[in-house]
Chain A
Amino acid sequence: GDSVTQKQGQVTLSEDDFLFINCTYSTTTYPTLLWYVQYLGQGPQLLLKVTTANNKGISRGFEATYDKGTTSFHLQKASVQESDSAVYFCALVSSGSWQLIFGSGTQLTVMP
């Protein structure tokens, strides 16, 4: 079945550091790939999504490229802020489906 893998359980950075969160996926379909962010005490919020392979999604300084060759959708940000501290979930939706398949999440902590 479809799956999403996030290798990093926790990432700790200082303000203005570069962020890279690893995400790889496995599916036999043509998925939509998404990143959700979950702040403390809240539900997941859509950060960005990409529906077409080799395209890039950009939102609030975050970006991720749908790389069909490496089946990856890594999240990056050039300069993180303390307010970016949250849990980040990579997810996919298979074509023709509604179901979100989530990765295990990466807790980002940004120190002031």
Chain B
Amino acid sequence: GALVYQYPRRTICKSGTSMRMECQAVGFQATSVAWYRQSPQKTFELIALSTVNSAIKYEQNFTQEKFPISHPNLSFSSMTVLNAYLEDRGLYLCGARDRTYEQYFGPGTRLTVL
């Protein structure tokens, strides 16, 4: 079956530092990967959509300078949170989409900023 792994599952960083999170699709080809942030109140914010061999599309309020994304192949994507501050805390979810447009989510990387 289709699975999405994310690591680390949890991370703590000091304010102003950066952290990188990874997303791996297993059992299917992730033609597109959407990165979301889920707030402590459970609401979802779409950060960006990354499609292999295409430009990454960032949503309003999110920039490449702050959340650089790499999507080098059909099974792997990574995103970095640069200069993390308190407002960046939350659960970062990777939603990998296959050729049928079914979207599979990983368990998320929970970011705590001190």
Contacts and interface: CB of A to CB of B under 8 A. Distances in A.
A98 B57 CA distance: 12
B43 A105 contact: yes
A102 interface: yes
B42 A104 contact: yes
A99 B46 contact: yes
Contact of B105 (A43, A93, A98): A43
Most A CB atoms within 10 A — which of B32, B102, B107? B107
A70 interface: no
Interface in B16-62: 32, 34, 41-44, 46, 49
Interface in A11-34: none
State which size class the interface on A falls in: 10 to 19
A38 B41 CA distance: 13
B105 A87 contact: no
A78 interface: no
Given A44-B93, A46-B102, A102 B44 contact: yes
A41 interface: yes
Interface string A71-112: 000000000000000010100010000111010110100000
Nearest to B9: A41
B42 A98 contact: no
Contact of B42 (A43, A45, A87, A93): A87
Interface of B: 4, 6, 32, 34, 41-44, 46, 49, 93, 95, 97, 101-108
Given A45-B105, A93-B101, A100-B95, 17 more contacts: A36-B105, A42-B107, A42-B108, A43-B6, A43-B93, A46-B102, A98-B34, A98-B49, A98-B97, A98-B101, A99-B34, A99-B46, A100-B34, A100-B46, A104-B41, A104-B42, A104-B43
